[in-house]
Amino acid sequence: MSRKYFGTDGVRGPYGSAIMNEEFAWRLGSAAARFARAEPNFRSTEVLMGRDTRASGLSLERALAAGLQSEGLSPKSLGIVPTPAVSLMTRRSAASLGVVITASHNPAGDNGIKFFGPSGIKLTDDDESRLEGMLPVAAGAMSGPVALMQNSLAQYCELTGALLPRGSLAGWSIVLDTANGAACHSSRVVLQSLGASLALIGNSPDGSNINEAVGSQHPEKMAALVRARGARLGIAHDGDADRCVLCDETGEVLDGDEILTMLALHALRQGRLAKHTLVVTVQSNLGVDAAVRAAGGKVCRTQVGDRYVIERMQAEGANLGGESSGHVICSDISPTGDGLVAALKVLEVMQAAGRPLSELRKSLVKFPQLSRAVGVREKKPLESLRELPAAIRAIEAELGTAGRVLVRYSGTEPKLRLLVEGATDPVVQDCMDRLLAAARHELDVIEG
């Protein structure tokens, strides 16, 4: 079923646009309540809500809560909390829905709304299509502030902090970048409770600076500070803290593929990788497959989007999966991607191995790869184009089994994403240049 408003990660857009305003939030809340009540596993009227630090979040939360209340549900706000905290608390409570008001890694001017079912897992494509079909034509009266649920963030910190022994990070110097977002409090509290000495970046949210030149999308400051302080590593989240990007003690940045490979190989050695299977997306480097296969495991791939990873994990009986962007799902601990959990699991590997991150990352030998994201004014259907599909076919024929091409539109931003892997860097660069030239010729590309 096609969806009009939902993308790969909820409904998202510039605040004040046609799909990201108080009136639409009310309608979405009303539809979500109707959807929840129609489910055979409907278990209570309670809905848990969280938000990140954007200035528009509180107003959207109140409107969405009013929509939920119009259909008889009882929303409770967790306040400013990471997305994975809402997911985890939804699973551990009697709530029928979890809702997060966030635009994740997008700029402060954007916002979004995403939903979790009672299990703490994001709604499926079919669920979202059915929810869209229940949207009322117009919004009703907006209500006042929603009731605040006490101690929810403290519970999340306690649950995640228990992953490592208390005091186990004593003497560890860590740079932590929380993107002026939802993890400003939680990640700091947990790491300090374990004994770490922290240097903080992106820990002064003002409603308009979330993700602004900080966080997982901009790890440069983190890397520079790691080098300057001689820290063991750097940890960066995005605005809603469901991502984790690291840098090693030399200041070199690691992506999600390197994190997933380290965790998978460690779990295989410990006999804790369920079904000996790691789930990744088509975006991940082919070197991940080679490393996991060599250790006796297997890799399954799915389309881009952490919820598709989770769906495949459930189907395969796997307990580890994620994306190269830094979404890491450890389903034994959390039902969705959790940047803090991912960081703690890497710290566990470092302690068990007694080796620095710069050595552990070598377990993944990447195939030569280039990826680009270019802004477009209109997402013209790729099948309606001529030159770009022709360029893709020609390059795929040339690469054969020694590489691959991936071209798709972002599900959350007006961007075309291109990826090429091949045998050598010059081959990959030539292929990327040809793809970009074809895209620029047929699409209204926004340069810069």
Known catalytic residues are: 104
Largest CA distance in the chain: 61
Q: Within a 10 A sphere around the Cβ of 71, how many other Cβ atoms?
A: 18
Contacts of 309 (CB under 8 A, 6+ apart): 279, 280, 281, 302, 321, 322, 323, 327, 329
Give the length of the chain.
Answer: 448
CA 39, CA 85: separation in Å to the nearest integer?
Answer: 23
At position 308, the amino acid (one-letter code) is Y
Query: Is the CB of residue 395 less than 8 Å from the CB of residue 405?
Result: yes
DSSP state of 52: -
Cα end-to-end span (Å), the chain: 35
360: its two tokens: 């552990």
Contacts of 287 (CB under 8 A, 6+ apart): 257, 261, 364, 365, 366, 367
Report the candidate in 385, 372, 364, 384 with the shortest Cα–Cα distance to residue 419.
372
